[in-house]
Amino acid sequence: MNDAIAMRLRALLGPHAVERDPDGLPRAVPDSPDAMAAICGAAHAEGWKIRVEGRTTWLPADAPADLALSTRGLEAVTSVSPADLVASAQAGASLDLVRRRLAEQGMWLALDPPGRPERSLGSIAATATAGPLRLGFGPVRDHVLGATIVTGDGRLVHAGGRVVKNVAGYDLTKLHVGGFGGFGIIAELHLRLRALPRADVTLVAHGSRDALTGAARDLSGTVNPAALELLSPALAAEPDWVLAGRFLGTEAGVQSEVQRLVHGGGLQWQQVPADRAAAFWGLAARAALGGPVTLRLGVLADGLDETIDLIERELTEGLLSAGAVNGMLRWTGDAAVERLRAVRRTAAAREIPMTIERAPWAVRHALGHFGAYREGVGQLVGRLRESFDPGGCLSVALEGAME
């Protein structure tokens, strides 16, 4: 079977674009969205299951499949327009590369996702994994103006556009950002950029969880940080909890914000030296790889304490970070499927969705990235999946197998 698939792929793409993964599975490395579509078209016709791989630094490449499809061959930054603050990049481009290309021209993409800096843009968009900057700049979807999608049966769909404001047609991009590849494979993204901020200041305060969340509540509305993130002692590698604030903007604007922060809330703030701030946030992002499972909980700030209690009770050890102003909690660690399911059930009863962002296939398969939906939504999602992947070729577990 493997040999026949590999042979077919070589005939489609040429010998250079087909390799084998360590288990001997054929891996196609298309170099264009059209080639990607051809692979999916063939898979649909033959009934092959496809596992999509990015730079394999986030989700493990372990979904059962007849072939792997890597986006590594699609790593170009295809256009950059400084005057319009937009850029287009292929899905396999690493965030690191994109950042460097943009910085050369005075721009940046206001995303600081968990994981390694070489994560692919496609992975970040498909999993909608935003980092602490979500507070100031919004979730991943706010940075994506449009996308080229390859459907499970090999069609090319051009969702959205390349301009910063656009309501033409249905907003299909939203389905794919955070769709975990269940509705198609992202081949290219059109991104909204910002001018590089003139000033970038990070401050940290240490204390008990109660003291920090209380102070964050008091500060809410008086300061406007780009990030205000609560980090657990294990994640921060500190004896206490850490509250980390980041301010971006003009020099005068940032200085005035910092003054208000330092004089309000009653915490002892220390400024992180400029040459160490990037490393500080980079370490916090990489901490999400400190265990096999990463999950996020869509909790509001006022439910944070209660939800952290729940996590600590059910999942014990782990690395935890949370938006202190806007909520949203991320946990990384190791836990049995039953414990994770229990957390999801309790959270759902509090109207908090839990998304498995990263886990071995056994966990993804058992729980699904999303698990059980609200009433009626499952049928809707099923119909949407059916329309984008009618043959069920994309090996993605959105719903749990044993819910």
Partner 1 sequence: MNAALREALSGIVGPRWVRHRAAELATYAMDGLPTHESAPAVVVLPASRDELIAVVRLLHRESLPFVARGAGTGLSGGALAAPNAVLIALTRMKHILRIDAARRRAVVEPGVVNTRLSEATVPFGLHYVPDPSSQSACTIGGNVAENAGGPHCLKYGVTTNHVAELEVVLADGQVVRLGSPHGEPWGPDLVGLFVGSEGMFGVATEITVRLEPLPQAVRTLLADFTTVRAASEAVSAIIGAGIVPAALEMMDQACVAAVERSIYAAGYPTDAAAVLLVEVDGAADAVAAEFELVDGILRSHGARSVQTAVAPADRARLWQGRKKAFGAMGRIAPDLAVQDAVVPRSALPDILDRIGEIRDAHRLTISNVFHAGDGNLHPNISFDRRDVALAERVRQASREIMEACVAAGGSITGEHGVGNDKIGYMPLIFDAETLGAMQAVRRAFDPEERANPGKVVPVHACREWHAAPAARPRPPAARPRMAVG
Interacting positions 212-251 with partner 1 (CB under 8 A)? 221, 223-224, 249-250
**Segment interacting with partner 1 (CB under 8 A) among 7-15, 28-36, 158-166, 231-239:** 158-166
Q: Which of 3, 22, 165, 239 binds partner 1 (CB under 8 A)?
A: 165
Nearer to partner 1, 119 or 192 (CB): 192
Specify which residues 68 forms β-bridges with: 27, 51
CA angle 273, 279, 284 (to 5 degrees): 115
Judged by CB under 8 A, the residue of 1, 3, 23, 83 near partner 1 is: 83
**Residue 142 binding partner 1, by CB under 8 A:** yes
Residues numbered 288 to 307 that lie near partner 1 (CB under 8 A) are 296, 298-300, 302
Q: H or E element: which one contains 328? A: strand 327-333
Give the CA angle between residues 284, 289, 292 to the nearest 5°.
Answer: 145
Q: Indicate which single residue of 76, 157, 289, 342 sits in contact with partner 1 (rule: CB under 8 A).
A: 157
Site for partner 1 in 345-364 (CB under 8 A): 351-353, 355
Size of the site for partner 1 (CB under 8 A): 79
388 near partner 1 (CB under 8 A)? yes
380 binds partner 1 (CB under 8 A): yes
Residues 6+ apart with CB under 8 A from 184: 149, 150, 151, 152, 157, 176, 388, 389, 394
The answer to the question of residue 328 lying near partner 1 (CB under 8 A) is yes
Of 28, 35, 43, 128, which one interacts with partner 1 (CB under 8 A)? 128
395 touches partner 1 (CB under 8 A): no
Q: Where are the beta strands (DSSP E) in 151-222?
A: 156-160, 185-192, 194-195, 199-207
CA–CA gap between residue 153 and residue 392 (Å, rounded): 9
Give CA 74 to chain center in angstroms: 19
Q: If binding is defined by CB under 8 A, does position 85 make contact with partner 1? A: yes
Of 117, 214, 253, 292, the residue at the interface with partner 1 (CB under 8 A) is 253
Q: At how many degrees (to 10) do helices 2-13 and 33-46 cross?
A: 140
Looking at 9-17, 66-74, 189-197, 284-292, which segment touches partner 1 (CB under 8 A)? 189-197
Contact between 322 and partner 1 per CB under 8 A: no
**With binding defined as CB under 8 A, does residue 386 bind partner 1?**
yes
DSSP-assigned beta bridge partners for residue 327: 323
Minimum distance from CB of 401 to partner 1 (Å)? 16
Residue 393 CB contacts under 8 Å (≥ 6 apart), including other chains:
40, 43, 44, 47, 48, 49, 50, 152, 153
Q: Please identify, using beta-carbon distances, which residue of 10 and 155 lies nearer to partner 1.
A: 155
Cα separation, 154 vs 342, in Å, equals 38
E strand map for 239-301: 241-249, 270-271, 293-297
Q: Are 49 and 393 in contact (CB under 8 A)?
A: yes
- The interface with partner 1 within residues 12-71 (CB under 8 A) comprises none
Of 11 and 195, nearer to partner 1 (C-beta) is: 195
Q: List the one residue from 77, 262, 342, 384 that touches partner 1 (CB under 8 A).
A: 384
Smallest distance from partner 1 to CB 328, Å: 7
Q: How far is the CB of 25 from partner 1 (least distance, A)?
A: 28
What are the two backbone dihedrals, phi and then psi, of residue 313, each rounded to the nearest 5 degrees?
Answer: -75, -45
Residues 6+ apart with CB under 8 A from 376: none
